[in-house]
Chain A
Amino acid sequence: MNITIEMYGRLKHVFGHDTLVWKTEAITVKDIYLELCEQHHCVDESNIIRPIIDDTFCQWQSKVTEYNVLGFLPPASGG
């Protein structure tokens, strides 16, 4: 399936992209994230990152479907 992945904050620097068009056979948010980490040689930070699907918070085990926009939010650092 084809999805779009959006990175926020420092994750844009970590993964080297703001937005990625991603083709995957993975089903869950977590599996897709780990796939990204592996391909970009990044450390798994799923314990502190919050995932979103189509601009709504989701669970790591949430299922992703064709054309979803998946996003990864690092810990907040506003203020």
Chain B
Amino acid sequence: MFSLTNQVIDPKQLTEAIRDSQSGAFASFEGWVRNHNHGKSVIALHYEAHNKLAVEVGQQIMTQAIEKFAINHARCCHRIGQLAVGEVAIWVGVSANHRKAALAACEYILNQVKAEVPIWKNEFYADGESGWVEANHCC
């Protein structure tokens, strides 16, 4: 399941949603708002999405992950709106019988969401300027 939220992401709640007794492995990723980018001091981020298409594309990615990897459950939640430094921008969680599939699926979902889901990031800097961030799939 893929979702967007304008509320603070609660990793514990999301983790519980994919916990089950058949899974021996759980892998998760949290993307946090950091206070710097390309040498500039970042004070906040604003995420904007095309909500309908973001959920559609995100859900397709989750379905692909379920088909591609031997996993039991997967969830991804992406924050939209204004975020402060340190807040969770994206959370991905996968449960599986074994760790290899859980780790691989978690990375797959993250990479696909970053590349495909129509969400855009606008950074606000300490010097008062702001700038839209270009796609960055390196890390």
Contact = CB atoms under 8 A, between A and B. Distances in A.
B120 A77 contact: yes
A76 B117 contact: yes
Give the interface residue-count category, chain B. Answer: 20 to 34
A78 B90 contact: yes
Given A8-B48, A52-B53, A76 B135 contact: yes
A52 B113 CA distance: 19
Contacts, number: 62
Contacts of B89: 78-79
Given A8-B118, A57-B53, A73-B50, A79 B132 contact: no
Given A57-B53, A76-B117, A79-B78, 12 more contacts: A8-B48, A8-B50, A9-B122, A55-B50, A71-B50, A75-B135, A76-B118, A76-B119, A76-B135, A77-B132, A78-B49, A79-B90
Interface of B: 31, 47-50, 52-53, 78, 89-90, 110, 113-122, 132-136
Interface of A: 8-10, 13, 50, 52, 55, 57, 71, 73-79
